[in-house]
Chain A
């Protein structure tokens, strides 16, 4: 019983903390984020397993985590509000070439980040070549370039 409760508790805690920290922490992989991910993984591992290193415990935990994941995906399908709360909605950062300063600031995204996405996705050179920029729910920035004349 302990393994299932531990698994569920850690799943919820990590989910809530990651969701409230913001999407960017997930998608960006700067060296600092890599360190953060490694430390979080190591810390949760200890809380998950406790002092029980048996194969049974590991198997129960893995099954628990996958079951929660599958269960949540079904619940989200029938209960869109939960999906909105858990996964969020995409945010328009630049619309028709107009920057939404408030959205950029609140989502902690600089124009440098937007330009980086523009360069890597479309080889854009300047900000005015971007028509729309959208912060997706997975933390990535999608760029729709302006039509070249």
Chain B
């Protein structure tokens, strides 16, 4: 390894440092590639095979973004099993309202009320012999690291959602 100074050059080089930097640089390129692969897989939100998660119980199923992005719209889909019920209640806890701002709900709830848990929506359901779906368009209000949020459908035990919100 020849130093620049030994070759008569007044150059402030540092070859051992440069070698270390090149090693770090190659490591960083591998990390860049992993980030791209993770993004394609959906682990950074906004689409991809792994971007959605779901929680289900006797009351129904809630499909939500596993990874969401701060300030970027996303949706939470609630599927109610086939039944003769003409109304359904969906209750969200305060942690949910802290992380997500609910922008639009389809169908529009017939009523909403503040409860001890948080917020309770009542939906009128039409006669149907198949599952019914409620879509909540939400926008993350702040970054979150898998903060547990609870959603309760009718009188079933609350379902636990753990979305990650990237900054």
Query: Hey, which bits of chain A sit against chain B, CB under 8 A?
Result: 9, 20, 22, 50-51, 84, 88-92, 95-96, 98, 100, 103, 106-107, 132, 134, 144
Q: Is B24's CB under 8 angstroms from A106's CB?
A: no
In angstroms, Cα B8 to Cα A132, docked, is 10
- Looking at the assembled complex, report how far the CB atom of B15 sits from the nearest CB atom of chain A, in whole angstroms: 8
Contact of A96 with B7 in the complex, beta carbons under 8 Å: yes
Contact B14 A92 (CB under 8 A): no
**Could you say which interface size class chain B belongs to?**
20 to 34
Contacts of A132 in B (CB 8 A): 7, 9
**Interface of chain B, main secondary structure:** helix
Contact of A22 with B25 in the complex, beta carbons under 8 Å? yes
With known contacts A51-B71, A84-B14, A92–B9 Cβ distance under 8 A: yes
Chain A residues within 8 Å of B129, by CB: none
- Residues of chain A within 8 A of B24, CB atoms compared: 20
Q: A90-B11, A91-B13, A92-B15 are in contact. List 19 more A-B contacts (CB 8 A).
A: A9-B167, A20-B28, A20-B29, A22-B25, A84-B17, A88-B18, A89-B14, A89-B18, A90-B4, A90-B13, A91-B15, A92-B4, A96-B7, A96-B8, A106-B19, A106-B22, A132-B9, A134-B4, A144-B9
Using A20-B25, A20-B28, A51-B71 as known contacts, say yes or no to A90 and B12 having CB atoms under 8 A apart: yes
Chain B residues in contact with chain A, CB under 8 A? 2, 4, 7-9, 11-15, 17-19, 21-22, 24-25, 28-29, 32, 71, 167
Task: Decide if the interface of chain A is mainly helix, strand, loop or mixed.
Answer: mixed
Q: Which B residues lie within 8 Å of A84 (CB)?
A: 14, 17
B13-A89 in contact (CB<8A)? yes
Task: Return chain A residues, CB-CB under 8 Å to B4.
Answer: 90, 92, 95, 134
Give A97's nearest chain B residue, CB to CB: B7
